[in-house]
Amino acid sequence: MNEPEIKKRTSKAMTFFEKGYNCSQAVFMAYSDIYGIEPEMAAKLATSFGGGMGRLREVCGAVSGMFLVLGLQYPFTDTKDKGAKNTNYKAVQRTANEFKTIMGSYICADLLKLKHEPQNPESSERNEVYYKSRPCIRCVKVAAEIVGKELLTKG
């Protein structure tokens, strides 16, 4: 991973989002090939995390997509390996804090300036008004950049 590749993957994440994939899918799909995961499988794995987890407006989907990448980069699969679990959790907290510093929160409702309550489960129509009224594309960009830098410096 290098700076030009991070820019390329960030652009790829933004393009995925603009094509209609949710925020979590966009970030995860931009990096999933590194771990041998095909785009369709990546989209499936990240589906439920869009809209702050199924439009519950909890943790931003772009941040969840970032965390999915971190799970592959810093896996915890051996229940006796506390060090691996701690390594992952440290990366999650480090990247979440960086996202919060830049965006002001990693909670979807806060980012969208909505009440903290589940929204209608029907996805919003993607149109010019949608893209202009929401910070989602910026969230995707920031999350993709942060996770790329994480892979560059720590991975």
Which residues pair with residue 59 across a beta bridge? 107
CA distances for 42 relative to 17, 22, 35, 74, 96, angstroms: 14, 12, 10, 17, 21
Predicted local distance difference test score (pLDDT) of residue 118: 67
Mean pLDDT across 122-129: 78
Predicted local distance difference test score (pLDDT) of residue 122: 78
Mean pLDDT across 73-93: 97
Predicted local distance difference test score (pLDDT) of residue 38: 97
Predicted local distance difference test score (pLDDT) of residue 121: 78
Contact 57, 51 (CB under 8 A): yes
Q: Which residues contact 81 (CB under 8 A, 6 or more apart)?
A: none
Region class of 36: left (phi > 0), else alpha (psi between -120 and 50), else beta: left
User: Does residue 120 register a pLDDT over 80?
Assistant: no
- Per-residue pLDDT of 41-71, as tens digits, reads 999 999 999 999 999 999 999 999 999 999 9
Predicted local distance difference test score (pLDDT) of residue 113: 92
| Residue with the larger pLDDT of the pair 114 and 23 | 23
Report how far residue 13's alpha carbon sits from residue 115's, in angstroms, rounded to the nearest whole number. Answer: 27
Per domain, the residue ranges of the chain are: 3-153
Report how far residue 144's alpha carbon sits from residue 39's, in angstroms, rounded to the nearest whole number. Answer: 16
Predicted local distance difference test score (pLDDT) of residue 155: 57
Instruction: Find, among 111, 152, 106, the residue nearest to 7 by Cα.
Output: 152
Report how far residue 15's alpha carbon sits from residue 56's, in angstroms, rounded to the nearest whole number. Answer: 24
Which residues pair with residue 107 across a beta bridge? 59
Q: What's the predicted TM-score (pTM) here?
A: 0.92
pLDDT band at 128 (very low <50, low <70, confident <90, very high): confident
